[in-house]
Amino acid sequence: MCGIVGYIGRRDVAPLLLEGLQRLEYRGYDSAGIVITGKPSGKTPAALKMVKAKGRVRDLEARVPKRFAGTTGIAHTRWATHGAPSDENAHPHMDPEGKLALVHNGIIDNADELRAKLVAEGVEFASETDTEVLTHLIARSEAETLEERVRQALHLIEGTYGIAVLHSDFADRIVVARNGSPVVLGIGEKEMFVASDVAALVTHTRQVVTLDDGEMATLKADDFRTYTTEGTRTTASPTTVEWEAESYDMGGHDTYMHKEISEQPDAVDRVLRGRIDDRFSTVRLGGLNLDAREARAVRRVKILGCGTSYHAGLIGAQMIEELARIPADAEPASEFRYRNPVVDPDTLYVAVSQSGETYDVLAAVQELKRKGARVLGVVNVVGSAIARETDGGVYVHAGPEVCVVSTKCFTNTVVAFGLLALHLGRIRDLSVSDGKRLIEGLRKLPEQIREILELEPEIKKLAEEYANAKSMMFIGRVRGYPVALEASLKLKEISYIHAEAYPASELKHGPLALIEPAMPTVAIVPNDDLLEKNRAAMEEIKARSGRILAVAHQEQEKADHTIVVPKNEVELDPILMGIPLQILAYHTALALGRDIDKPRNLAKSVTVE
């Protein structure tokens, strides 16, 4: 949430920062701002020049004067937490003298207490943000160096932060720090970059350093150094980003969401590549750091994620339970650590996050590690915080996902869980024939997804027909229920149509009261041993004059419309049944004129609590 980008070097900084903000806008888009260090003139020292604007990055860009020269600067695109979107609440925030500027991702938990103390001491605030508190704390420090001023201020605050700081008295540097919110350094040729996401860096460099929590860095044009908030030097080794700059382009599509839906066959092929072991009818997941003896000792699997990742975890838990015969369940990470959970040494915990930086998931991982648990990560971003904090894991290799709502990463995450379930199953009691059956099913997925994508014109017509609904119900049983949950979430996120998901078996226990012609139901109806049960649920809906759109392996006579998808193995069918509902949500939102890539009130990487 929120995007930071900064640069120090020899190039004109404003165009670089604005370009970086455009690439980061999916992280927050209610206001934006830029501040640069102007060039000193004669005896006149360097001065900070700032422009801010409520709205999108394009609104900021329209305000930046043509003459806005400098070679050092920081910029920010905001997702509001404290204070409504406005010019005043936009970052960067400056001290009253205009000598210090700061951009911040995260939340300062004790901001109200600190603000009250500063006001009592005569400080006047220009915004409603928690960030301005930190700005004043740094500015009021009397330490000799900018690094020490920042360190002193950070010791006074509680909460999460990713920050970048400029000061006109220290015009040769940018000071950055991280605690719970990502900060990535980009290493160039006599120039340095900083950002909250590599998306802002890959156009200019693929050599990066990711800060750890409690770590700071000083960036100069030709050098950088890292150290802890206690002042101890740390060693940082650059890594190479695997994604190319072109991965972040629209690629001829009207939206990133449409592009990312269409990329799913290739994305699934990537997550499978090099991992299938035909000789033993299993898969190779070397990154788990879990040998066969340790895997056989696992007595339970607990999967933790938020939103779409939680839904992927629900499907993953079912796969693990069915194939490995290990009790498994999924739980929202945001709730897990607040209920004082019993942490069992025989339980394998799996943390799921597309970005690898989701704060609720990361906090759960840190709590589990503190209590001695074994934790694996299922993430998309190499080198992310969760990838570094966990004992091992599986990268899902979906590639960059720019649209706020997740599509290809959800699909790849579920496929990754299929690989994990098969791996654990073959170590335990899953037969060779079942291993071969599932491998064949996994290999079919890319081509079957292509078949589903060819249904887009048909699904578009259905979306336009259902777009006038004020509310929709999604139902499924067992394997179909998590698909219903995810489809319901997708529709809510981008179309703003109210949607609810229920197990089909629960209709008669309350939700049937909502059924009427104006309330369409989307039914997930796989051709499995619950087919007749699902048909009975549709009978209940039709008896109450409800409209039904079925996603099934064959036409459903009780449905008003059916989207027929290819059949795979029963354990893998949920992967395919969710994809037409991504397309349905997309075209529903398109018919309603929504901003599909940047839905209101949401941001991509949720790095606040």
Cβ atoms within 10 A of the Cβ of 568, count?
Answer: 21
Q: What is the DSSP letter of 45?
A: P
Strands 471-476 and 374-379: unpaired
Strand, helix or coil for residue 180:
strand
Q: Which among 260, 257, 263, 272 has a CA at the least distance from the CA of 415?
A: 272
Q: What are phi and psi of 361, to 5 degrees?
A: -70, -45
Q: Which alpha helices (DSSP H) does 121-202 contain, by range?
A: 131-140, 146-154
Contact predicate 28/77, CB 8 Å = yes
What's the length of the chain? Answer: 609
Helices (H) and strands (E) in the chain, counts: 19, 27
Angle at 403 between CA 388 and CA 242, to 5 degrees: 40
Measured CA to CA, the distance from residue 82 to residue 105 in angstroms comes to 11
Contact predicate 29/21, CB 8 Å = no
Per DSSP, the residues of 451-474 read: HHHTTHHHHHHHHHHHTT-SEEEE
Residue corresponding to tokens 């099934």: 552
Q: Which among 415, 365, 356, 417 has a CA at the least distance from the CA of 391?
A: 365
Q: What is the DSSP letter of 500?
A: E
Measured CA to CA, the distance from residue 248 to residue 363 in angstroms comes to 29
Measured CA to CA, the distance from residue 423 to residue 278 in angstroms comes to 12
**Residues annotated as catalytic (active site), given as ranges:** 2, 604
User: Partners of 348 in the beta sheet?
Assistant: 301, 374
Measured CA to CA, the distance from residue 432 to residue 438 in angstroms comes to 10
Measured CA to CA, the distance from residue 484 to residue 469 in angstroms comes to 17
